[in-house]
A and B are shown apart, each in its own frame.
Chain A
Amino acid sequence: MIRALSISIREFRGVRDLNLDFAGKNFAICGPNGTGKSGIVDALEFALTGVISRLAGAGTGSLSVKEHGPHVDSRNKPENAYVSLRVHIPSLKKDATITRTVKDAKNPKFSPDDPEIRAVFSKVSLHPEFALSRRELIRYVLSEPGKRAKEVQELLRLEEVETLRALFQKIANANDRDVKQAKVTREEASSSLLRALGLTKLSASEILAAANEKRAILFLPALPALEANTSIKDGIVSGSAAKSVKVPKQQAKADIDAIKIKLAAVQSAEFLSAIAKVSAALDDLSKDEKLLKSASKEAFLRTAISLFDDDACPVCDTPWKPEEFKNHLAQKLKDYSAATAQRKELERQLLPIVNELESMRVAAGSVAKYGSQLPTPVDCADLTTYVAQLGGVVSRLRAFIPLNETSDALAGASKVSEEVLKALALLEAGVAALPEPTQQDAARDFLSVGQERLEGYRRESLKHKAADKAAQDARFIFDLYNKVTTEALEAIYRNVEEQFSKLYRMVNYDDEDAFRAELKPSMGKLGFDVDFYGRGFFPPGAYHSEGHQDSMGLCLYLALMSHLAGDAFTFAVLDDVLMSVDSGHRREVSKMLLEEFPNTQFLLTTHDEVWLRHMKSVGLIEPKRFAHFRTWSVDLGPTEWDGRDVWDEIKDLLGKNDVRAAAALLRHYLEHFSKEACQSLRAQVEFRGDAQFSLGGLLPNAISKLKKSLKAGKDAAVSWKQNDKIDAITTQENLLNAAVSATKIDQWQINAAVHYNEWANLHKNDFASIVDAYKALVVAFACGKCSSVLFSTPEVGEAEALRCSCGDINVNLRRKS
């Protein structure tokens, strides 16, 4: 998506004022621990995302970007703390700058400010995985399978897949519940219809036979068939039912008998035992305060997740990054998993109780209507109240939370008051006292009530069918979603597995050239096993060394990022990711990055100078594309190993008459410079296994090698009769010889007074002249135009030329044959 061109950091974290020129190329930041390398990574992350990972997440407590993003001396001036990052956007073929201050981290400034550029930066901000530290890298390798799947899915930004899966599952489950509910209601309508028709079995032929029997009494034509729109009372004149008898005696009697059976059922030992069992479980759950709170909060948290707008908490408006908000609530929900399991089990036990009570409610409701229709009305207020109470109980039991209300509702579920029983008895007596209807009236009542209940049954049947169809559709979509996404994830993991194995083999071809890995997704988990020297597949931490695990983490990250971003994988920050990898394998890592990711710009930090050299010698880092920090102070921030800083700093120290510090700095710098010179000129030095080379063991060798190279160049120029070259080389030689002479390096071994060990004991003015001499010597090693240290080419084999970075100096070392 982007390539970093340059960065300016002001008053941010440990940096006071720093500019780095990446030029869109790979760039290395090297320096001992505590010199500010990771501050640069923080600045890059902050510029692109507004976040500093190390100030967020687990264990960071009260740390925040706003409070702790600015330099400690600017902590009360967050407006002074900013990072400005200039990038190239390959897809737009444009350069752009994003500037973000700590004070207003959410509103970066863009230049140029156009929608296309904003869109690219917006997309980058959603992919903070461009920066990887060793701490993060090792998560992919050593995590538990369930956790690893989450880590990898987070890296691949797959949370949307999981979110959608959860929504489809929720819909499918809710529809299953709707079907069950619709089925109960339909069965109640069925019972009511059967009672009205005096049947025991619901079949079209039996309904038709019963209806036609009554129709014959009324001299109505027999119905030939019972279809969906057939009315069994067809032909009865509206309002012709016996006006004196509003209550159909037979049907009312059957309804009252039915409710008496239901009343007996809800007061049966079996029903009471079921209630007692659930009540006890509810009491247990209520006693556990934590679980109780969990159960209460769970629904709330799920609602919060569904209402989250990817910006701020829906309750308190606190800004959250989407991933962090969801993870935060997911962790809480995970803690509630025990309560959730108990809740599901209790809901399962409650279901038959709820169904029985609902059936009772519907039946009691239809009986209560008869009270006012009887010739001598019966006051059914208590019965109606009971029906309303049952409705409340059913609602409470279905809601489940709060638990105390569920417990209370359950406690009263089987209680039927004396008043209700009395009202029922009065109703029963009222119905019994009704005059027996004539045969015709009875037939008319039969057909009218039967038709009414048949229509009710048809309505509920249609609802049930619709609910059933919706449930089947929802389940089908959910199952298909699972199938397709699982296959797609498996394909991704296969692809990543192959790419990962290939990258790892490249780094470890010397001893693991047949290495293979297996990524196995299963039920939300991701198994990761690696081949161990042909002895079988094991978890990475089982037998492989820490160094191998580090390189596995890097290779897995690179494979995942390749798959995640494809051609848009143009930028990655690797923050000291190969701490435990030995130098030989680091060189191979450099080669692998260069060969396999030619279109990716890597910004790498390391505390290891040797790896920095590897990166340069392999060509991963171009000669000038690195920053070498030598020290850090709270006042200055990181300080680079470039000449300008050093000579100014030495001058400042001498101004304060601090010769000791100035001498230490000069020696330290010359050691650094000598290493660079020996490396670039391919000078021979006495090997030290501990890599602790002293100034005396380096600088004379570098001078000797440069002199020899210049002499070889002059000889070659003479052989080719290139007089202008001869003059230029002679000038360079004279410059070098004069500088060497001024430093008196050649007298170190015979004159202790001029040895660098004595510098700290010199007078300020005496040491100042030494500083001038060595500054001139350093200049003599460099190109006058581009200031780069001269280097021999090629890097191996017989040297053919002495060059500088800009090409102004290009001394041929080969004589005419």
Chain B
Amino acid sequence: MDDKTVTAGGDGKSSVDGHSTGSVAHQIIGQFLIALEGQNGYEKAAKNLRNAIFGAKPTEASLRFAMFEEDEL
């Protein structure tokens, strides 16, 4: 799992490195990921979700795997 840097701006914006396009949508989603990372017990899910969301087109299956680390069989 590669590390990506997500930094929150003071004006409600954030910048997301890695695969993010830096669009407004990705800035907003980046803010969500920062918030999730800060929640006890959700750090890993946040990292997995960042990869699933910014690494490729997210699907229900990829998000499920990111959240629960299990394939839908």
Residues in B neighbouring A483, C-beta threshold 8 A: 35
Chain B residue nearest to A162 in the complex (CB): B25
Chain A residue nearest to B49 in the complex (CB): A477
A541 to B23, CA, bound (A): 31
A489 to B32, CA, bound (A): 12
Known: A474-B67, A495-B12. A158 touches B59 (CB 8 A): no
Q: Chain B interface secondary structure, helix, strand, loop or mixed? A: helix
Chain A's interface size range is 20 to 34
Which residues of chain B (31-73) have a CB below 8 Å from chain A? 31-32, 35-36, 39, 42, 45, 49, 53, 57-60, 63-64, 67-68
Known: A157-B23, A473-B45. A306 touches B32 (CB 8 A): no
Q: Which of B31, B36, B57, B68 contacts A309 (CB 8 A)?
A: B57
Q: Which of A167, A310, A476, A492 contacts B12 (CB 8 A)?
A: A492
A463 interfacial contact with B, CB 8 Å: no
A691 interfacial contact with B, CB 8 Å: no
A306 touches B68 (CB 8 A): no
A495 touches B11 (CB 8 A): yes
Residues in B neighbouring A481, C-beta threshold 8 A: 32
Chain B residue nearest to A568 in the complex (CB): B22
The distance from the CB of B1 to the nearest CB of chain A, in whole angstroms, is 18
Residues in B neighbouring A123, C-beta threshold 8 A: 21
The distance from the CB of B3 to the nearest CB of chain A, in whole angstroms, is 21
Known: A167-B58, A171-B64. A158 touches B28 (CB 8 A): yes
A156 interfacial contact with B, CB 8 Å: yes
A226 interfacial contact with B, CB 8 Å: no
The distance from the CB of A482 to the nearest CB of chain B, in whole angstroms, is 9
A480 touches B28 (CB 8 A): no
Mark A493-528 against chain B: 1 for CB-CB distance below 8 A, else 0: 001000000000000000000000000000000000
A485 to B25, CA, bound (A): 9
A225 interfacial contact with B, CB 8 Å: no
A473 to B39, CA, bound (A): 11
B12 touches A477 (CB 8 A): no
Chain A residue nearest to B35 in the complex (CB): A484
Known: A160-B26, A491-B12, A495-B11. A167 touches B60 (CB 8 A): yes
Chain A residue nearest to B46 in the complex (CB): A477
Residues in B neighbouring A170, C-beta threshold 8 A: 60
A55 interfacial contact with B, CB 8 Å: no
The distance from the CB of A474 to the nearest CB of chain B, in whole angstroms, is 7
A473 touches B67 (CB 8 A): yes
The distance from the CB of A429 to the nearest CB of chain B, in whole angstroms, is 43
Q: Which of B21, B32, B45, B49 contacts A485 (CB 8 A)?
A: B32
A613 interfacial contact with B, CB 8 Å: no
A768 interfacial contact with B, CB 8 Å: no
B32 touches A480 (CB 8 A): yes
B12 touches A164 (CB 8 A): no
A488 to B35, CA, bound (A): 12
B6 interfacial contact with A, CB 8 Å: no
Chain A residue nearest to B34 in the complex (CB): A484
The distance from the CB of A694 to the nearest CB of chain B, in whole angstroms, is 53
Known: A160-B29, A477-B45, A495-B11. A168 touches B68 (CB 8 A): no
Residues in A neighbouring B58, C-beta threshold 8 A: 163-164, 167
Mind listing 27 A-B residue pairs with CB under 8 Å? A157-B25, A158-B24, A160-B23, A160-B26, A160-B29, A161-B28, A163-B58, A164-B53, A167-B58, A167-B63, A171-B67, A470-B68, A473-B42, A476-B42, A477-B45, A477-B49, A480-B36, A481-B32, A483-B35, A484-B35, A485-B29, A485-B31, A488-B27, A491-B11, A492-B24, A495-B12, A564-B24
